[in-house]
Structure 1
Amino acid sequence: MTDDLLTAPVTGTPLPVDRFRVHRTARTVDVDRVLDVLDGRLAAYLVSEYVSAADCSVLTANFANSTDRIPRYGEGADGVEAYVLGASHIEKTTDQYLDQAAATAPAMRALYTGVHDPVSRLRELLLASGALTGRPAEHDGRRAGDSKAVCWNNIGEYLLLPHDDLAQLSDPLQAGFEIQTVRRVLAINVYPHVPGAGGALRIWNVAPDHATRARLGLTHSGYPYPPELLTAHPALDIPVHTGDLCLINGNLIHAVLGGDDRDRGRLLLTCFSGVSDQGEFLWWT
Protein backbone atom coordinates (compact mmCIF):
# COMPACT_ATOMS: atom_id res chain seq x y z
CA MET A 1 0.00 0.00 0.00
CA THR A 2 1.37 3.43 -0.92
CA ASP A 3 1.93 6.21 1.58
CA ASP A 4 -0.63 8.29 -0.31
CA LEU A 5 -3.38 5.81 0.52
CA LEU A 6 -2.41 5.78 4.19
CA THR A 7 -2.33 9.57 4.45
CA ALA A 8 -5.39 10.45 2.34
CA PRO A 9 -8.23 12.10 4.27
CA VAL A 10 -11.07 9.97 5.62
CA THR A 11 -14.03 9.94 3.24
CA GLY A 12 -17.63 9.06 3.95
CA THR A 13 -21.11 10.44 4.53
CA PRO A 14 -21.80 13.47 6.74
CA LEU A 15 -25.00 14.44 8.49
CA PRO A 16 -26.69 17.57 7.13
CA VAL A 17 -25.31 20.65 8.89
CA ASP A 18 -28.52 21.23 10.86
CA ARG A 19 -28.40 17.65 12.23
CA PHE A 20 -24.76 17.72 13.27
CA ARG A 21 -25.45 19.06 16.73
CA VAL A 22 -26.03 18.02 20.35
CA HIS A 23 -29.48 18.32 21.87
CA ARG A 24 -29.43 18.94 25.64
CA THR A 25 -31.94 18.52 28.44
CA ALA A 26 -31.60 18.24 32.22
CA ARG A 27 -32.84 15.25 34.28
CA THR A 28 -35.72 14.39 31.92
CA VAL A 29 -35.25 12.22 28.82
CA ASP A 30 -37.00 13.35 25.63
CA VAL A 31 -37.78 10.08 23.85
CA ASP A 32 -38.21 11.83 20.51
CA ARG A 33 -34.64 13.13 20.69
CA VAL A 34 -33.35 9.64 21.50
CA LEU A 35 -35.15 8.39 18.39
CA ASP A 36 -33.58 11.23 16.40
CA VAL A 37 -30.11 9.93 17.28
CA LEU A 38 -31.14 6.32 16.70
CA ASP A 39 -32.52 7.17 13.25
CA GLY A 40 -29.59 9.38 12.19
CA ARG A 41 -31.41 12.71 12.45
CA LEU A 42 -29.13 13.99 15.22
CA ALA A 43 -25.47 13.51 16.12
CA ALA A 44 -25.88 13.29 19.89
CA TYR A 45 -28.15 13.91 22.86
CA LEU A 46 -26.90 14.81 26.35
CA VAL A 47 -29.08 14.56 29.47
CA SER A 48 -27.38 16.21 32.43
CA GLU A 49 -28.14 14.98 35.98
CA TYR A 50 -29.77 11.85 34.56
CA VAL A 51 -28.47 9.85 37.53
CA SER A 52 -28.84 11.35 41.00
CA ALA A 53 -25.76 12.20 43.05
CA ALA A 54 -26.76 9.56 45.60
CA ASP A 55 -27.06 6.81 42.98
CA CYS A 56 -23.77 7.88 41.39
CA SER A 57 -22.06 7.45 44.75
CA VAL A 58 -23.56 3.98 45.21
CA LEU A 59 -22.56 2.88 41.70
CA THR A 60 -19.02 4.19 42.11
CA ALA A 61 -18.62 2.44 45.46
CA ASN A 62 -20.11 -0.81 44.13
CA PHE A 63 -17.63 -0.79 41.26
CA ALA A 64 -14.66 0.01 43.49
CA ASN A 65 -15.61 -2.81 45.85
CA SER A 66 -16.23 -5.40 43.15
CA THR A 67 -13.81 -8.31 43.16
CA ASP A 68 -14.91 -9.20 39.64
CA ARG A 69 -13.54 -6.16 37.82
CA ILE A 70 -10.68 -7.03 35.48
CA PRO A 71 -7.63 -4.81 34.93
CA ARG A 72 -6.85 -3.95 31.33
CA TYR A 73 -3.27 -2.76 30.94
CA GLY A 74 -3.42 -1.09 27.56
CA GLU A 75 -1.39 -3.81 25.86
CA GLY A 76 -3.87 -4.44 23.05
CA ALA A 77 -4.40 -2.64 19.77
CA ASP A 78 -6.30 0.22 21.36
CA GLY A 79 -3.85 0.88 24.21
CA VAL A 80 -6.65 1.57 26.68
CA GLU A 81 -5.76 1.19 30.35
CA ALA A 82 -8.81 0.52 32.46
CA TYR A 83 -10.72 -1.72 34.83
CA VAL A 84 -13.63 -3.52 33.16
CA LEU A 85 -16.70 -5.28 34.50
CA GLY A 86 -18.93 -7.16 32.08
CA ALA A 87 -18.58 -8.57 28.57
CA SER A 88 -17.38 -7.05 25.29
CA HIS A 89 -18.16 -8.59 21.91
CA ILE A 90 -15.19 -6.92 20.19
CA GLU A 91 -12.63 -9.31 18.65
CA LYS A 92 -14.41 -12.41 19.98
CA THR A 93 -16.37 -15.19 18.38
CA THR A 94 -20.09 -15.07 19.08
CA ASP A 95 -19.83 -18.02 21.46
CA GLN A 96 -16.88 -16.49 23.32
CA TYR A 97 -18.80 -13.27 23.78
CA LEU A 98 -22.00 -14.96 24.93
CA ASP A 99 -20.02 -17.15 27.32
CA GLN A 100 -18.48 -14.02 28.82
CA ALA A 101 -21.85 -12.27 29.00
CA ALA A 102 -23.33 -15.21 30.96
CA ALA A 103 -20.30 -15.51 33.23
CA THR A 104 -20.27 -11.80 34.13
CA ALA A 105 -24.05 -11.37 34.54
CA PRO A 106 -23.98 -11.94 38.34
CA ALA A 107 -21.23 -9.34 38.75
CA MET A 108 -23.22 -6.83 36.69
CA ARG A 109 -26.33 -7.45 38.82
CA ALA A 110 -24.21 -6.86 41.93
CA LEU A 111 -22.96 -3.58 40.47
CA TYR A 112 -26.53 -2.26 40.46
CA THR A 113 -27.28 -3.28 44.06
CA GLY A 114 -29.17 -0.44 45.73
CA VAL A 115 -29.94 1.48 42.53
CA HIS A 116 -32.11 1.17 39.44
CA ASP A 117 -29.73 0.27 36.61
CA PRO A 118 -29.60 3.57 34.67
CA VAL A 119 -28.82 1.93 31.32
CA SER A 120 -31.82 -0.40 31.61
CA ARG A 121 -33.95 2.52 32.79
CA LEU A 122 -33.27 4.35 29.51
CA ARG A 123 -34.22 1.28 27.45
CA GLU A 124 -37.35 0.74 29.55
CA LEU A 125 -38.39 4.31 28.84
CA LEU A 126 -37.94 3.81 25.10
CA LEU A 127 -39.93 0.57 25.05
CA ALA A 128 -42.68 1.97 27.28
CA SER A 129 -43.17 4.83 24.81
CA GLY A 130 -44.47 2.35 22.25
CA ALA A 131 -42.08 3.69 19.60
CA LEU A 132 -39.96 0.53 19.65
CA THR A 133 -40.12 -3.15 20.47
CA GLY A 134 -36.85 -4.57 21.68
CA ARG A 135 -34.75 -7.08 23.57
CA PRO A 136 -31.12 -8.09 24.10
CA ALA A 137 -29.47 -9.46 20.96
CA GLU A 138 -29.53 -13.27 20.91
CA HIS A 139 -27.91 -16.21 19.18
CA ASP A 140 -29.13 -19.80 19.47
CA GLY A 141 -31.27 -18.81 22.47
CA ARG A 142 -28.40 -17.13 24.33
CA ARG A 143 -28.56 -13.43 25.12
CA ALA A 144 -26.06 -10.60 24.92
CA GLY A 145 -25.01 -8.52 27.89
CA ASP A 146 -27.20 -5.64 29.03
CA SER A 147 -24.38 -3.25 29.95
CA LYS A 148 -20.74 -3.14 30.95
CA ALA A 149 -18.71 -0.84 33.18
CA VAL A 150 -15.35 0.69 32.30
CA CYS A 151 -13.18 2.68 34.70
CA TRP A 152 -10.63 4.63 32.67
CA ASN A 153 -7.16 4.81 34.17
CA ASN A 154 -5.07 6.15 31.28
CA ILE A 155 -4.12 9.72 30.44
CA GLY A 156 -2.81 11.49 27.36
CA GLU A 157 -4.18 13.29 24.31
CA TYR A 158 -6.91 10.70 23.86
CA LEU A 159 -8.40 8.27 26.34
CA LEU A 160 -9.84 6.46 23.33
CA LEU A 161 -8.70 7.20 19.78
CA PRO A 162 -11.09 8.06 16.92
CA HIS A 163 -13.27 5.11 15.87
CA ASP A 164 -16.71 4.14 14.63
CA ASP A 165 -19.03 1.56 16.20
CA LEU A 166 -20.48 0.08 13.02
CA ALA A 167 -17.40 -1.56 11.47
CA GLN A 168 -16.95 -4.01 14.35
CA LEU A 169 -20.36 -5.52 13.62
CA SER A 170 -19.01 -6.97 10.37
CA ASP A 171 -16.37 -9.14 12.05
CA PRO A 172 -16.38 -12.61 10.39
CA LEU A 173 -15.84 -14.11 13.87
CA GLN A 174 -19.48 -13.24 14.56
CA ALA A 175 -21.03 -14.33 11.27
CA GLY A 176 -24.71 -15.08 11.83
CA PHE A 177 -24.99 -13.08 15.05
CA GLU A 178 -28.04 -10.85 14.64
CA ILE A 179 -26.19 -7.66 15.59
CA GLN A 180 -24.76 -7.86 12.06
CA THR A 181 -28.19 -6.83 10.73
CA VAL A 182 -27.97 -3.45 12.50
CA ARG A 183 -27.17 -0.58 10.12
CA ARG A 184 -26.83 2.29 12.60
CA VAL A 185 -25.45 2.05 16.12
CA LEU A 186 -26.77 4.08 19.05
CA ALA A 187 -24.15 4.17 21.79
CA ILE A 188 -25.64 4.58 25.28
CA ASN A 189 -23.22 6.09 27.82
CA VAL A 190 -23.87 6.87 31.49
CA TYR A 191 -21.25 8.53 33.72
CA PRO A 192 -21.51 7.76 37.46
CA HIS A 193 -18.12 9.33 38.22
CA VAL A 194 -16.21 11.99 36.28
CA PRO A 195 -13.47 13.22 38.62
CA GLY A 196 -11.78 15.86 36.43
CA ALA A 197 -12.40 18.13 33.49
CA GLY A 198 -11.06 15.75 30.82
CA GLY A 199 -12.71 12.90 28.97
CA ALA A 200 -14.97 14.94 26.69
CA LEU A 201 -16.46 13.18 23.69
CA ARG A 202 -15.46 14.46 20.25
CA ILE A 203 -17.56 13.59 17.20
CA TRP A 204 -16.55 14.24 13.61
CA ASN A 205 -19.20 14.77 10.97
CA VAL A 206 -18.37 11.74 8.86
CA ALA A 207 -19.60 8.15 8.77
CA PRO A 208 -16.59 6.50 7.11
CA ASP A 209 -17.07 4.58 3.89
CA HIS A 210 -15.88 1.06 3.12
CA ALA A 211 -13.05 2.37 0.95
CA THR A 212 -11.57 4.35 3.84
CA ARG A 213 -11.79 1.42 6.23
CA ALA A 214 -10.23 -0.91 3.68
CA ARG A 215 -7.23 1.26 2.84
CA LEU A 216 -6.53 1.88 6.54
CA GLY A 217 -6.92 -1.79 7.46
CA LEU A 218 -9.97 -1.09 9.65
CA THR A 219 -12.66 -3.02 7.76
CA HIS A 220 -13.82 -5.09 10.74
CA SER A 221 -12.62 -2.90 13.62
CA GLY A 222 -13.23 0.76 12.77
CA TYR A 223 -10.32 1.54 15.12
CA PRO A 224 -8.28 3.71 15.14
CA TYR A 225 -8.63 6.46 12.55
CA PRO A 226 -5.55 8.72 12.59
CA PRO A 227 -6.72 12.11 13.92
CA GLU A 228 -4.69 13.95 11.27
CA LEU A 229 -6.86 12.37 8.56
CA LEU A 230 -10.02 13.91 10.05
CA THR A 231 -9.11 17.60 9.90
CA ALA A 232 -11.29 18.20 6.82
CA HIS A 233 -14.42 17.27 8.77
CA PRO A 234 -16.22 19.50 11.29
CA ALA A 235 -16.06 18.26 14.86
CA LEU A 236 -17.97 18.99 18.02
CA ASP A 237 -16.89 18.37 21.62
CA ILE A 238 -19.25 17.24 24.37
CA PRO A 239 -17.93 17.67 27.93
CA VAL A 240 -19.48 15.14 30.30
CA HIS A 241 -19.97 15.33 34.06
CA THR A 242 -20.96 13.02 36.88
CA GLY A 243 -24.57 11.87 36.42
CA ASP A 244 -24.77 12.57 32.69
CA LEU A 245 -26.32 10.37 30.01
CA CYS A 246 -24.92 10.81 26.50
CA LEU A 247 -26.34 9.10 23.42
CA ILE A 248 -24.35 9.26 20.21
CA ASN A 249 -24.72 8.22 16.60
CA GLY A 250 -22.03 5.55 16.66
CA ASN A 251 -21.70 5.45 12.86
CA LEU A 252 -19.98 8.83 13.04
CA ILE A 253 -16.30 8.76 13.94
CA HIS A 254 -15.87 9.71 17.58
CA ALA A 255 -13.24 9.68 20.32
CA VAL A 256 -12.74 10.33 24.01
CA LEU A 257 -10.42 13.25 24.61
CA GLY A 258 -7.59 12.92 27.09
CA GLY A 259 -7.00 14.22 30.55
CA ASP A 260 -4.42 14.30 33.29
CA ASP A 261 -3.94 12.51 36.61
CA ARG A 262 -7.09 14.16 37.97
CA ASP A 263 -9.13 12.24 35.39
CA ARG A 264 -8.07 8.77 36.45
CA GLY A 265 -10.99 6.70 37.70
CA ARG A 266 -13.62 8.06 35.31
CA LEU A 267 -16.44 5.50 35.41
CA LEU A 268 -18.63 4.69 32.40
CA LEU A 269 -21.67 2.41 32.07
CA THR A 270 -22.39 1.60 28.47
CA CYS A 271 -23.98 -0.59 25.83
CA PHE A 272 -24.48 -0.56 22.07
CA SER A 273 -27.91 -0.67 20.46
CA GLY A 274 -29.63 -0.37 17.12
CA VAL A 275 -32.58 -1.45 15.00
CA SER A 276 -32.20 -4.74 13.11
CA ASP A 277 -33.30 -5.39 9.55
CA GLN A 278 -36.36 -7.07 11.13
CA GLY A 279 -37.29 -3.78 12.84
CA GLU A 280 -36.42 -4.83 16.41
CA PHE A 281 -34.46 -2.62 18.79
CA LEU A 282 -31.50 -4.73 19.95
CA TRP A 283 -28.79 -4.12 22.51
CA TRP A 284 -25.45 -5.71 23.34
CA THR A 285 -22.11 -4.85 24.93
Structure 2
Amino acid sequence: MTSSTIAPVTGVRMDPQFFRFDEYDEFDPERVLDVLRGRRLGVIFRGVIPLAVQQDLTARFWNSQGLTRRTGEPSYHVGAYHWNKPVDTYLAETSKVSEQVMDVLNCDDSPWHWFRDRMNDRLAGDGARLRTAEMNGEQACPALVRAWNKEGEFALEPHEDEAQCRDPRQAGFEVQRVLDYEVCATNMCIEHEGGGRLVLWNIRPDDDSRRRFDILHSGFSYPPRTLDGIERVNVDIRPGDVYVFNGRHVHAVDATRGNRTAISFLLGFIDEQTVVTWT
Protein backbone atom coordinates (compact mmCIF):
# COMPACT_ATOMS: atom_id res chain seq x y z
CA MET A 1 0.00 0.00 0.00
CA THR A 2 1.39 3.39 -0.97
CA SER A 3 1.28 6.48 1.25
CA SER A 4 -1.27 8.00 -1.14
CA THR A 5 -3.76 5.31 -0.06
CA ILE A 6 -2.98 5.39 3.66
CA ALA A 7 -5.38 7.34 5.86
CA PRO A 8 -4.06 10.70 7.11
CA VAL A 9 -2.38 10.99 10.47
CA THR A 10 -4.95 11.51 13.23
CA GLY A 11 -4.57 12.98 16.68
CA VAL A 12 -4.83 16.25 18.58
CA ARG A 13 -4.63 19.64 16.85
CA MET A 14 -3.90 22.78 18.84
CA ASP A 15 -5.45 26.25 18.58
CA PRO A 16 -3.71 29.16 16.81
CA GLN A 17 -2.71 30.81 20.10
CA PHE A 18 -0.50 27.81 20.80
CA PHE A 19 0.58 26.79 17.31
CA ARG A 20 3.12 29.53 16.61
CA PHE A 21 6.88 29.94 16.66
CA ASP A 22 8.10 33.17 18.29
CA GLU A 23 11.42 34.85 17.47
CA TYR A 24 13.75 36.88 19.71
CA ASP A 25 17.18 38.47 19.29
CA GLU A 26 18.33 37.62 22.81
CA PHE A 27 18.10 34.44 24.85
CA ASP A 28 15.28 34.54 27.41
CA PRO A 29 14.76 31.53 29.70
CA GLU A 30 11.21 32.68 30.42
CA ARG A 31 10.29 31.97 26.80
CA VAL A 32 11.82 28.49 27.05
CA LEU A 33 9.67 27.91 30.11
CA ASP A 34 6.62 28.85 28.02
CA VAL A 35 7.42 25.91 25.74
CA LEU A 36 8.15 23.54 28.62
CA ARG A 37 4.85 24.48 30.25
CA GLY A 38 2.90 23.89 27.05
CA ARG A 39 1.96 27.52 26.49
CA ARG A 40 3.35 27.73 22.95
CA LEU A 41 4.73 25.50 20.21
CA GLY A 42 8.24 26.87 20.00
CA VAL A 43 10.68 29.74 20.24
CA ILE A 44 13.87 30.63 18.38
CA PHE A 45 16.63 32.94 19.56
CA ARG A 46 18.38 34.37 16.51
CA GLY A 47 22.15 34.63 16.30
CA VAL A 48 22.86 34.13 20.01
CA ILE A 49 25.94 31.95 19.40
CA PRO A 50 28.86 34.18 18.29
CA LEU A 51 30.62 33.29 15.05
CA ALA A 52 33.91 32.44 16.77
CA VAL A 53 32.09 30.00 19.07
CA GLN A 54 30.27 28.42 16.13
CA GLN A 55 33.58 27.87 14.37
CA ASP A 56 35.26 26.46 17.46
CA LEU A 57 32.43 24.02 18.15
CA THR A 58 32.25 22.93 14.50
CA ALA A 59 35.99 22.25 14.36
CA ARG A 60 35.83 20.31 17.63
CA PHE A 61 32.97 18.22 16.25
CA TRP A 62 34.52 17.28 12.93
CA ASN A 63 37.89 16.58 14.58
CA SER A 64 36.43 14.56 17.45
CA GLN A 65 37.69 11.03 18.01
CA GLY A 66 34.07 10.18 18.81
CA LEU A 67 32.74 11.19 15.38
CA THR A 68 30.53 8.38 14.07
CA ARG A 69 28.49 7.77 10.94
CA ARG A 70 25.07 6.65 12.13
CA THR A 71 24.14 3.22 10.80
CA GLY A 72 21.30 3.44 8.30
CA GLU A 73 21.04 7.23 8.54
CA PRO A 74 22.76 9.98 6.51
CA SER A 75 24.24 11.76 9.50
CA TYR A 76 27.41 12.06 11.53
CA HIS A 77 27.27 12.45 15.29
CA VAL A 78 29.17 12.56 18.55
CA GLY A 79 27.06 11.18 21.39
CA ALA A 80 24.47 8.46 22.06
CA TYR A 81 20.78 8.09 21.14
CA HIS A 82 18.24 6.61 23.54
CA TRP A 83 15.85 6.11 20.62
CA ASN A 84 14.60 2.61 19.86
CA LYS A 85 16.90 0.64 22.18
CA PRO A 86 16.99 -0.80 25.72
CA VAL A 87 17.90 1.73 28.36
CA ASP A 88 20.89 -0.33 29.51
CA THR A 89 22.30 -0.15 25.98
CA TYR A 90 21.82 3.61 25.87
CA LEU A 91 23.49 4.17 29.23
CA ALA A 92 26.39 1.87 28.32
CA GLU A 93 26.91 3.74 25.05
CA THR A 94 26.71 7.02 26.92
CA SER A 95 29.42 6.01 29.38
CA LYS A 96 31.77 5.40 26.45
CA VAL A 97 31.18 8.72 24.65
CA SER A 98 30.35 11.33 27.33
CA GLU A 99 33.96 12.46 27.66
CA GLN A 100 34.19 12.98 23.90
CA VAL A 101 30.89 14.88 23.89
CA MET A 102 32.15 17.20 26.61
CA ASP A 103 35.41 17.71 24.72
CA VAL A 104 33.27 19.22 21.96
CA LEU A 105 31.02 21.25 24.27
CA ASN A 106 33.65 22.65 26.65
CA CYS A 107 34.68 25.68 24.62
CA ASP A 108 34.71 29.31 25.74
CA ASP A 109 31.19 30.79 25.87
CA SER A 110 29.69 27.38 25.15
CA PRO A 111 25.93 27.68 24.45
CA TRP A 112 25.39 24.28 26.08
CA HIS A 113 26.76 25.65 29.35
CA TRP A 114 25.10 29.06 29.34
CA PHE A 115 21.72 27.58 28.32
CA ARG A 116 21.78 25.30 31.35
CA ASP A 117 23.13 27.97 33.69
CA ARG A 118 20.49 30.52 32.73
CA MET A 119 17.67 27.99 32.80
CA ASN A 120 18.74 26.91 36.27
CA ASP A 121 18.84 30.53 37.42
CA ARG A 122 15.25 30.97 36.19
CA LEU A 123 13.98 27.64 37.54
CA ALA A 124 15.51 28.33 40.95
CA GLY A 125 12.94 31.10 41.35
CA ASP A 126 10.26 28.39 41.28
CA GLY A 127 12.19 26.03 43.54
CA ALA A 128 13.10 23.85 40.54
CA ARG A 129 16.22 22.87 38.65
CA LEU A 130 17.47 21.41 35.37
CA ARG A 131 19.76 18.38 35.33
CA THR A 132 20.72 15.41 33.17
CA ALA A 133 18.32 12.45 33.38
CA GLU A 134 19.47 9.52 35.52
CA MET A 135 18.79 5.85 36.18
CA ASN A 136 20.42 3.72 38.87
CA GLY A 137 23.13 6.30 39.38
CA GLU A 138 24.01 6.54 35.68
CA GLN A 139 23.45 9.70 33.65
CA ALA A 140 22.01 10.23 30.20
CA CYS A 141 24.21 11.60 27.45
CA PRO A 142 24.73 15.36 27.94
CA ALA A 143 24.03 16.20 24.28
CA LEU A 144 24.17 14.93 20.72
CA VAL A 145 26.24 16.91 18.26
CA ARG A 146 25.16 15.85 14.79
CA ALA A 147 25.30 16.84 11.16
CA TRP A 148 22.53 15.94 8.71
CA ASN A 149 23.37 15.77 5.01
CA LYS A 150 20.70 13.56 3.47
CA GLU A 151 19.50 14.33 -0.05
CA GLY A 152 15.83 14.40 -0.97
CA GLU A 153 12.67 16.10 0.27
CA PHE A 154 13.61 15.72 3.95
CA ALA A 155 17.04 15.54 5.56
CA LEU A 156 15.22 14.18 8.63
CA GLU A 157 11.88 12.47 7.97
CA PRO A 158 8.64 13.53 9.71
CA HIS A 159 8.51 12.08 13.23
CA GLU A 160 7.57 12.92 16.81
CA ASP A 161 9.30 12.51 20.17
CA GLU A 162 6.48 11.30 22.42
CA ALA A 163 6.31 7.68 21.26
CA GLN A 164 9.98 6.96 21.99
CA CYS A 165 9.45 7.93 25.63
CA ARG A 166 7.03 5.01 26.07
CA ASP A 167 9.38 2.27 24.90
CA PRO A 168 8.83 -0.66 27.33
CA ARG A 169 12.53 -1.52 26.98
CA GLN A 170 13.20 1.70 28.90
CA ALA A 171 10.82 1.04 31.80
CA GLY A 172 12.08 2.81 34.91
CA PHE A 173 14.05 5.43 33.00
CA GLU A 174 12.85 8.71 34.46
CA VAL A 175 12.36 10.36 31.05
CA GLN A 176 9.11 8.37 30.79
CA ARG A 177 7.70 10.67 33.47
CA VAL A 178 8.02 13.59 31.05
CA LEU A 179 4.87 12.26 29.40
CA ASP A 180 2.90 13.82 32.27
CA TYR A 181 4.17 17.22 31.04
CA GLU A 182 5.61 18.18 27.62
CA VAL A 183 8.34 16.48 25.60
CA CYS A 184 10.51 19.25 24.17
CA ALA A 185 13.60 19.50 21.98
CA THR A 186 16.48 21.98 22.02
CA ASN A 187 18.80 22.59 19.07
CA MET A 188 21.80 24.92 18.80
CA CYS A 189 22.87 25.51 15.20
CA ILE A 190 26.65 25.78 14.75
CA GLU A 191 27.05 25.05 11.02
CA HIS A 192 24.55 25.53 8.22
CA GLU A 193 24.95 26.26 4.52
CA GLY A 194 21.37 26.42 3.30
CA GLY A 195 17.90 24.88 3.26
CA GLY A 196 17.20 22.61 6.19
CA ARG A 197 14.16 24.39 7.55
CA LEU A 198 12.48 23.05 10.65
CA VAL A 199 8.98 21.95 9.62
CA LEU A 200 6.24 21.32 12.21
CA TRP A 201 2.70 20.10 11.63
CA ASN A 202 -0.26 20.90 13.85
CA ILE A 203 -0.85 17.29 14.86
CA ARG A 204 0.03 15.27 17.94
CA PRO A 205 -0.48 11.73 16.63
CA ASP A 206 -2.64 9.22 18.42
CA ASP A 207 -1.83 5.55 18.96
CA ASP A 208 -4.11 4.50 16.10
CA SER A 209 -1.81 6.33 13.71
CA ARG A 210 1.32 4.93 15.34
CA ARG A 211 -0.01 1.38 15.07
CA ARG A 212 -0.93 1.84 11.40
CA PHE A 213 2.64 2.87 10.63
CA ASP A 214 4.17 0.34 13.05
CA ILE A 215 5.93 3.06 15.05
CA LEU A 216 4.12 2.77 18.39
CA HIS A 217 7.31 3.09 20.45
CA SER A 218 9.56 4.93 17.99
CA GLY A 219 7.49 7.72 16.42
CA PHE A 220 9.60 7.46 13.25
CA SER A 221 8.50 8.08 10.59
CA TYR A 222 5.21 9.41 9.19
CA PRO A 223 4.77 9.23 5.41
CA PRO A 224 4.79 12.86 4.23
CA ARG A 225 1.64 12.53 2.14
CA THR A 226 -0.35 11.45 5.20
CA LEU A 227 0.30 14.96 6.55
CA ASP A 228 -1.18 16.74 3.53
CA GLY A 229 -3.81 19.29 4.49
CA ILE A 230 -2.58 19.64 8.08
CA GLU A 231 -1.47 23.14 9.04
CA ARG A 232 2.31 23.50 9.22
CA VAL A 233 4.91 26.09 10.05
CA ASN A 234 8.32 26.36 8.39
CA VAL A 235 11.15 27.89 10.40
CA ASP A 236 14.30 29.04 8.63
CA ILE A 237 17.40 28.04 10.59
CA ARG A 238 20.65 29.99 10.48
CA PRO A 239 24.04 29.50 12.14
CA GLY A 240 24.03 30.85 15.68
CA ASP A 241 20.33 30.17 16.31
CA VAL A 242 19.07 28.34 19.40
CA TYR A 243 15.53 26.98 19.29
CA VAL A 244 13.21 24.97 21.52
CA PHE A 245 9.93 23.35 20.49
CA ASN A 246 7.27 20.88 21.55
CA GLY A 247 8.34 17.48 20.23
CA ARG A 248 4.88 15.92 20.56
CA HIS A 249 4.07 17.55 17.22
CA VAL A 250 5.19 15.83 14.03
CA HIS A 251 8.29 17.63 12.81
CA ALA A 252 11.03 17.25 10.21
CA VAL A 253 14.02 18.93 8.60
CA ASP A 254 13.54 19.63 4.92
CA ALA A 255 16.21 19.37 2.22
CA THR A 256 19.61 20.80 3.11
CA ARG A 257 22.51 22.17 1.12
CA GLY A 258 25.72 21.00 2.76
CA ASN A 259 25.97 20.08 6.43
CA ARG A 260 23.42 21.17 9.01
CA THR A 261 25.24 20.71 12.32
CA ALA A 262 23.67 21.27 15.72
CA ILE A 263 23.98 20.52 19.41
CA SER A 264 20.77 18.76 20.40
CA PHE A 265 18.99 17.30 23.41
CA LEU A 266 15.48 16.55 24.63
CA LEU A 267 14.10 18.02 27.82
CA GLY A 268 11.01 18.21 29.98
CA PHE A 269 9.61 18.35 33.49
CA ILE A 270 9.35 15.06 35.37
CA ASP A 271 7.84 16.75 38.44
CA GLU A 272 7.22 20.31 39.55
CA GLN A 273 10.78 20.69 40.84
CA THR A 274 12.78 18.95 38.11
CA VAL A 275 13.50 19.38 34.40
CA VAL A 276 15.68 16.65 32.87
CA THR A 277 17.60 16.40 29.62
CA TRP A 278 18.55 13.37 27.55
CA THR A 279 19.41 12.45 23.97
The question of 1:155 aligning with 2:151 is answered yes
Tell me, yes or no, if structure 1 residue 17 matches structure 2 residue 16: yes
How far, CA to CA, are the matches of 2:57 and 2:153 in structure 1? 27
**Alignment match, 2:266:** 272
User: Which residue of structure 2 aligns with residue 68 of structure 1?
Assistant: 66
1:117 is the counterpart of 2:110 = yes
**Could you give the per-residue CA deviations for residues 102-142 of structure 1, whole angstroms, max 9, x where no partner exists?**
11111112112432331232122111112432311111111
**Equivalent pairs, count:** 274
Runs of 4+ that moved beyond 6 A: 2-6
CA distance in 1, matches of 2:227, 2:201: 7
Paired with 1:241 and 1:282, the residues of 2 have a C-alpha distance of 27
1:26-46 CA distance string (max 9 Å, x none): 1x2222221111122111101
Q: 1:4 to 1:258 in 2, by over 3 A?
A: closer
Equivalent in the alignment of 1:58:
56
- Determine the C-alpha separation between the residues in 2 that align with 1:4 and 1:156: 17
TM-score by length of 1: 0.91
Do the aligned partners of residues 12 and 279 (structure 1) sit closer, same or farther apart at CA in structure 2, a change above 3 Å counting? Answer: farther
Query: Residue 229 in 1 paired to residue 226 in 2?
Result: yes
For residue 154 of structure 1, give the secondary structure of its aligned residue in structure 2. Answer: coil
Q: Quote the offset at 1:3 in angstroms.
A: 8.2
Post-superposition offset of 1:210: 1.5
Q: Is the 2:163–2:219 contact (alpha carbons within 8 Å) kept by the matching residues of 1?
A: yes
Structure 2 CA distance, aligned partners of 1:123 and 1:143? Answer: 16
Please say if residues 105 and 112 of structure 2, whose CA atoms lie closer than 8 Å, have aligned partners that are also in contact. no
Cα RMSD (Å): 1.8
Partner of 1:167: 163
Inter-partner Cα distance in structure 2 for 1:236 and 1:249: 13
CA distance in 1, matches of 2:109, 2:147: 20
Q: 1:187-202, aligned counterparts within 5 Å?
A: 187-196=185-194, 198-202=195-199
2:13 partner letter: P
Aligned to 1:127: 120
- Mapped to 2, the partners of 1:191 and 1:121 lie a distance apart of 15
The letter for the 1-side match of 2:160 is: D
Equivalent pairs: percent with the same residue? 33
SS of equivalent residue, structure 1 residue 92: coil
3-state SS, counterpart of residue 35 of structure 2: helix
Assess if the C-alpha contact under 8 Å between 1:94 and 1:174 holds in 2: yes
Counterpart residue type for residue 200 of structure 1: R
In structure 2, what is the Cα distance between the partners aligned to 1:280 and 1:10? 33
Unaligned runs of 5+ in 1: none
SS of equivalent to 2:188: strand
CA distance in 1, matches of 2:228, 2:4: 16
Q: Compute the displacement of 1:67 (Å).
A: 2.2
CA offset at residue 249 of structure 1? 0.5
Task: Please give the per-residue CA displacement for 1:152-207, whole angstroms capped at 9, x wherever unaligned.
Answer: 122211001110001001111111111111122110000001112x1100000111
Residue in 2 that maps onto 1:92 = 85
Whole-angstrom CA distance in 1 between matches of 2:274 and 2:258: 37
Amino acid at match of 1:170: R
Unmatched tracts of structure 2, length 5 or more: none
- When residues 114 and 178 of structure 1 are mapped into structure 2, their CA distance, relative to the original with a 3 A threshold, is closer
1:250 lines up with 2:247 in the alignment: yes
